[in-house]
């Protein structure tokens, strides 16, 4: 007979859970306006703690439809283990009569909600990272470029800011005008058109929204060189647009990678983490 003893995990070190389907608007319309949080057990079990964590606001690519938050949850959980609260934000579906800027307003509302509830979820409201893929990359780029812009605000949590301190876009759509005639985007861009906004597709294109003399956060743009959905040239063109106006931007080409799929590697996640920690180091 073998007998042994092991110490307990008194402070739940390394243990995380997912808090699912949290509505973030006062009049949230079902699952589309909800978010999932990956948090340390101290937070989910309401164990008193004064510690706060930087926040990663993640928007999964969905073609501006309803995102599957389970797609990257395992990888994002690894980010949580590095010391971050991760919020996976869903937004309204363009195919359900939700044109631009509904998805952008939703992501901004979620950020304000999280700042408003920072104490409850142990979030450091001064350290917020926007991370998005594909159409989600489009969303976080726009968030970075339109901080606290009243035309994209609702009355929800209006005392709080929707700005982010870092923007990371992976194979994000920077120029919607350039892809509107691609077979994959014809229908959805028509759904996103909004008569209340002139030149809607330009307005929802980060490339056309860069303005000189603003206080934009640093941008990390990553793209696969063989992307067959969102053309690779969207990344260098967006980077040049930011750089020409003097803004901080870094680009990473994932050699040979297509859209999503084989784009992801440990080296990609390491680069994302390194960019975050360089600009927003986790406070111990």
- pLDDT tens figures, 128-173: 999 999 999 999 999 999 999 999 999 999 999 999 999 999 999 9
**What tokens were used for 34?**
């909800």
Per-residue pLDDT reduced to its tens digit, 83-114 = 899 999 999 999 999 999 999 999 999 999 99
Indicate if the pLDDT at residue 117 is higher than 70: yes
Looking up residue 141, the CATH number of its domain turns out to be: 3.40.50.1820
Instruction: Tell me if 6 is assigned to some domain.
Output: no
**Residue 212, domain member (yes or no):** yes
The reply to whether 80 falls in a domain is yes
Tell me what pLDDT residue 8 has. 94
Q: What is the number of structural domains in the chain?
A: 1
270: pLDDT strictly greater than 70: yes
Q: What is the pLDDT of residues 62-74, one digit of tens each?
A: 999 999 998 899 9
3-state helix, strand, coil in the chain (%, to 5): 35, 20, 45
Q: Is residue 282 in a domain?
A: no
In a domain? residue 284: no
Full domain range(s) for residue 78: 16-277
pTM for the full model?
0.95
* 4 within domain boundaries: no
Say if 59 falls within a structural domain: yes
Q: Which residues contact 185 (CB under 8 A, 6 or more apart)?
A: 63, 176, 179
Give the confidence band of 282 by pLDDT, cuts at 50, 70, 90: low
Poorest-confidence range of 19-28, 125-134, 146-155, 182-191? 19-28
- Domain assignment of residue 48, yes or no: yes
* CA end-to-end span of the chain: 43
pLDDT at 222 over 90: yes
């Amino acid at each position: 007979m073998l007998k042994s003893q092991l110490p307990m995990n008194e402070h739940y070190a390394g243990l995380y859970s997912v808090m699912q389907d949290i509505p973030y608007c006062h009049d949230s319309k079902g699952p589309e306006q909800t978010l999932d949080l990956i948090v340390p057990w101290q937070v989910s079990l309401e164990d008193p703690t004064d510690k706060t964590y930087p926040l990663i606001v993640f928007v999964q690519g969905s073609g501006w439809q309803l995102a599957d938050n389970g797609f990257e949850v395992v990888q994002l959980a690894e980010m949580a283990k590095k010391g971050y609260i991760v919020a996976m934000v869903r937004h309204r579906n363009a195919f359900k009569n939700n044109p631009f800027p509904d998805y952008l307003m939703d992501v901004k509302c979620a950020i304000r909600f999280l700042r408003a509830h920072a104490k409850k979820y142990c979030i450091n409201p001064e350290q917020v990272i926007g991370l998005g893929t594909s159409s989600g990359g489009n969303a976080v780029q726009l968030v970075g470029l339109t901080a606290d812009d009243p035309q994209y605000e609702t009355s929800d949590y209006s005392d709080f800011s929707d700005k982010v301190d870092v923007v990371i876009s992976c194979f994000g759509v920077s120029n919607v005008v350039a892809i509107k005639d691609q077979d994959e985007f014809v229908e959805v861009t028509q759904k996103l058109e909004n008569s209340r906004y002139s030149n809607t597709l330009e307005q929802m294109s980060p490339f056309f929204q860069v303005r000189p003399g603003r206080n934009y956060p640093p941008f990390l743009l990553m793209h696969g060189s063989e992307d067959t959905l969102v053309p690779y040239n969207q990344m260098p063109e967006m980077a040049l647009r930011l750089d020409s106006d003097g803004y901080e931007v870094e680009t990473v080409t994932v050699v040979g990678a297509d859209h999503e799929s084989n784009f992801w590697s440990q080296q990609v996640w390491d680069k994302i983490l390194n960019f975050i920690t360089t600009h927003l180091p986790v406070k111990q």
